[in-house]
């Protein structure tokens, strides 16, 4: 087990993986077995969950003449308008069944304010609705934060950047093969942004190898 470490499992939900007509991330299903293997090795394990009301204004369907993936503004902030996804109480909003929830200690829901989108696991995009994740991590004495899940170019990216900003004393890592982007171009941009922010990019094999070496000492 990695001492003083947390694994943040970002939005591993049916709506991003397997639910027809929602917002499937290409190859998103591939992150599930990797996260399954990683979870037992962390003393702190938290999942986030998009939990949108049906009238969420980030949905293209709420703006006549707007198509999914069109860009505009919402509440004065830049916005990509999405297909309806992860609506409260639907199968799409559920965590993927391949994710063993017995390992997860806390599930934090986000995206409930219809006026603003919510990429980060720490707060919505407007900063109006913090989830309390930073306080949870601080209370558990976390000094290393590892992130995995969906999607790299949005919710993983902004969660990692917020972790770096809100917990500057902690080391922040993104497990690159345990995440996937919505789009390859914005995925590459996200990796550059994360690296420039001082966030380390690691493959899961390196994380697991480090655990094995620590056990052997």
Report the catalytic residues.
11, 110, 155
d(CA 74, CA 12): 25
Prior bond to 151 cis, omega within 30?
yes
Question: For residues 72 and 81, is the Cβ–Cβ distance under 8 A?
Answer: yes
Find residue 82's DSSP bridge partners: 59
**Tokens linked to 24:** 């499937």
d(CA 111, CA 120): 9
Report the alpha-carbon angle 14-149-89, nearest 5. Answer: 30
Find residue 201's DSSP bridge partners: 174
Question: For residues 134 and 120, is the Cβ–Cβ distance under 8 A?
Answer: no
d(CA 13, CA 213): 32
d(CA 116, CA 99): 28
Beta-sheet pairing, 77-80 with 171-180: unpaired
d(CA 177, CA 112): 29
């Amino acid at each position: 087990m990695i001492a003083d470490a947390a694994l943040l499992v970002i939005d591993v939900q049916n709506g991003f993986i397997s639910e027809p007509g929602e917002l499937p991330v290409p190859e998103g299903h591939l992150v599930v077995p990797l996260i399954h293997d990683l979870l037992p090795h962390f003393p702190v394990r938290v999942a986030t969950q998009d939990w949108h009301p049906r009238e969420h204004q980030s949905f293209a369907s709420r703006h006549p003449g707007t198509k999914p993936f069109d860009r505009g503004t919402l509440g004065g902030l830049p916005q990509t308008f999405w297909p309806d996804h992860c609506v409260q109480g639907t199968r799409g909003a559920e965590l993927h069944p391949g994710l063993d929830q017995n390992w997860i200690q806390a599930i934090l829901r986000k995206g409930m304010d219809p006026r603003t989108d919510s990429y980060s696991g720490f707060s919505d995009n407007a900063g109006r609705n913090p989830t309390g994740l930073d306080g949870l991590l601080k209370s558990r004495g976390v000094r290393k934060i590892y992130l995995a899940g969906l999607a790299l170019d949005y919710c993983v990216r902004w969660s990692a950047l917020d972790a770096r900003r809100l917990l500057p004393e902690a080391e922040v890592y993104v497990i690159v093969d345990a995440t996937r982007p919505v789009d390859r171009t914005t995925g590459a941009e996200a990796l550059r942004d994360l690296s420039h922010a001082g966030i380390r990019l690691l493959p899961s094999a390196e994380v697991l190898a480090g655990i094995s070496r620590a056990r052997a000492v």
